[in-house]
Amino acid sequence: MPVGLPKSIKLTRDEFLEENIFGFVEATVRSPSSLTKEGYVGLLPIKFQGRLICPVGQFTGWFFSEELRFALDNGYQLISIKQAYQFQRGDNAFYDIIQQLNKMKIKAQENNQPTIRNISKLLMNSMYGRFGMHTENIHHKIVNTKQLTDIANHFSILGEIPLGNFVLVTYTLKESTTQLGSQQSQNLISLLEGSPSNTNVAIAAAVTSYSRMIINQYKLDALALGLEIYYSDTDSLVLNGALPENYCNSAALGKFKLEHKFTEGIFIMPKVYYLLTEEGKEINKCKGFSGKLNRSQYLDLLEGKTLDLRVTKWIRSLKNHSIQIHRDTPYQIKPTLNKRNKIYDSLGKWVNTTPIILP
């Protein structure tokens, strides 16, 4: 993992290829053709028009050094490097806690303790996200009435909880205050920004990069075995055949667990799909919608139709100390796929996808 303070360095293409530089680089690369399995999968992500894509062609982006090397080992070409930040290499930074949580999960599963199992799994899967969280400059303080008035003059009050003669107040800088440019406002900004936020974007970025490398290697292996990829997410693959047995072990970190064998699948977009298992069980996934769609609705989405639904929404306001329930609220599901291009057969049926091609 990237640890310590980053160091801005001058780095040439040849130096990166010859030396073991560890960190993040802004580089221009050229991918293999989309007709190759490496180009078809897409091994390097960039931000493009507000979304994260893995294109083919020549493009520039910020890449984690290890993910860039993974791509270079699989046919990508490094054209140039504009700038780079070097980090110390922290070996096994989270090894002990991840191993402990994994043992806790396995033991809880064996002892039929679903709550403990889910907590340990949640901590393992979600903990790294805390390092990449955008933390607002928010403070919490117990104050008296006079102190509360002083705070209200300079800060935006987000919440108050009475504690007898005192108040637990949550506050942040007013937007107008940050734009004044006065010495007073600069002092306020310094006061808030000086507080520790317990975040480390470099670690979060490295974790996601390592995760992509692992899942992408599985994709490449599946394609090399002649399998077709119907759907993939952060830690899952849906294929038209089985992976080798040594790829699957539900108790081992980094291995797959065979979840289902299915006879029908309808895949619309990320986290929106329908499966019918060999046992006749229906599995419905639809991100953002609390209800369940039926098979015909998934088929409508597959044809490009928009679903008009009704949902119940809960709106929480810390400032007003309220929770509002809005029942029967209109809700639309639109079948949008903007990270890859769709491929249609001669009858106009959507049969595959291909990466977005950049010049």
Task: State the pLDDT confidence band at 218, using cuts at 50, 70 and 90.
Answer: very high
Rounded to 10°, the helix 114-126/95-110 angle is 160
d(CA 60, CA 127): 30
Task: State the pLDDT confidence band at 155, using cuts at 50, 70 and 90.
Answer: confident
d(CA 244, CA 225): 9
Q: Taking residues 291-318, what's their average pLDDT?
A: 90
Closest CA to 40 of 216, 258, 203, 254: 216
178 pLDDT higher than 50: no
Task: State the pLDDT confidence band at 177, using cuts at 50, 70 and 90.
Answer: very low
Q: What one-letter code names the amino acid at 259? A: E
219 pLDDT higher than 50: yes
The pLDDT value given to residue 136: 64
CB environment 223-253: b (16+ within 10 A), e (fewer): beeebebbbbeeeebbbeeebeeeeeeeeee
The pLDDT value given to residue 180: 43
Residue-wise pLDDT tens digits, 237-275? 999 999 998 898 877 888 888 999 999 999 999 999 999
d(CA 317, CA 305): 35
pTM of the full predicted structure? 0.79
The upper half-sphere exposure of residue 295, i.e. CA atoms within 13 Å in the direction of its Cβ, equals 7
d(CA 249, CA 257): 6
The pLDDT value given to residue 187: 52
Q: Where are the domains of the chain?
A: 2-89, 95-132, 138-193, 260-358
Q: Are 158 and 138 in contact (CB under 8 A)?
A: yes
Q: Taking residues 89-93, what's their average pLDDT?
A: 89
Q: Taking residues 201-218, what's their average pLDDT?
A: 94
Report which of residues 173 and 197 the model is more confident about. 173
